[in-house]
Amino acid sequence: MFPIGDDNERGHGLAFISLAFISLNIAVFLLLQGAGGPSGEDFTYGYSAVPFEITNGVDLVEPEQITVDGTPVAIPQEPGPSPIWLTLLTSMFMHGGWLHIGGNLLFLWIFGDNVEHRIGHIPYLAFYLVAGLVASLAQILVQTDSIIPTLGASGAISGVMGAYLVMFPTNRVTVLMLRFPMRVPAIVAIGLWAAFQFVNGIGAFAVTEETGGGVAYMAHIGGFVAGVVAGFVFRAVFNGPRRPRGAPASAYG
């Protein structure tokens, strides 16, 4: 089940902050990360979030060795920002490849605009960044001494999806199911995605660098939970569609 569209609130125009985040992610990937190629490796390894660096307040600058399936593997490390905790922010706008950035930004494009229009541009900007930080910290919490870099917008976008689920549970989401498009309620589309993250995230508590995979499920869970909590707050505070600029006051009751 892969989402490709949803019902949008009418009359609000562009979701400027979501589009700005999409543009920033693309710019970082192309201009600073070299589209995932060798030319961007110094930036990628230096500005990704490394749990060991965050928990110990140090900047690793030399390759570190781990063992994977009995084979020694060197993990590159490069100088990062000062203070090193800024990588919690920089890593939110970085990606590991074309599929990684493409999938993340598609989800942000689909689910971000309705949340942004409902709560407003500035609150949405703050919410997105906070959800991303919570997501990164959740991943670090289960792998405090890991030297493997983590990066990606998926934690923040998981927060957006959590808020969307609470605020728009009956919105119809168009998904691809067995190659055919069909429309299902958001509570089904996002609920199944969330269930998958939780099932896989359970194993994170037993994961080591020798056995761990490449998906930061705990970041997804942390961001999603933060989004659900925020969604209940938003639903109470912003309990109806915002009136588009220039619309008559009576248009939205």
The alpha-carbon radius of gyration of the chain (Å, integer) is 19
Q: 186, 154 in Cβ contact below 8 A?
A: no
Beta strands in the chain (DSSP E): 2-6, 64-68, 71-75, 172-177, 180-185
Parse the chain into domains and list their residue ranges: 2-36+94-252
Task: Estimate the crossing angle of helix 217-237 against helix 98-119, to 10 degrees.
Answer: 10
Cis check: omega of the bond before 3, within 30 degrees of 0: no
Q: Residue 205: its pLDDT value, please?
A: 55
How far, in Å, are 26, 67, 228 from residue 163 at the CA level?
A: 24, 39, 5
Residue 65 backbone dihedrals phi, psi, to 5 degrees: -105, 135
Q: Residue 211: its pLDDT value, please?
A: 42
Q: Residue 252: its pLDDT value, please?
A: 34
Taking alpha carbons only, the member of 21, 45, 17 closest to residue 32 is 45
- Direct distance between the N- and C-terminal alpha carbons of the chain, in angstroms, rounded to an integer: 36
Q: Report the CATH fold assignment for 2-36+94-252.
A: Rhomboid-like fold (1.20.1540)
Structure tokens at 161: 């999806």
Per-residue pLDDT of the chain (253 residues; tens, 9 = 90+): 789 999 887 767 889 999 999 999 999 999 999 999 999 999 999 999 999 999 999 999 999 988 877 888 899 999 999 999 999 999 999 999 999 999 999 999 999 999 999 999 999 999 999 999 999 999 999 889 999 999 999 999 999 999 999 999 999 999 998 888 999 999 999 999 999 998 887 765 555 544 444 678 899 999 999 999 999 999 999 876 655 554 443 333 3
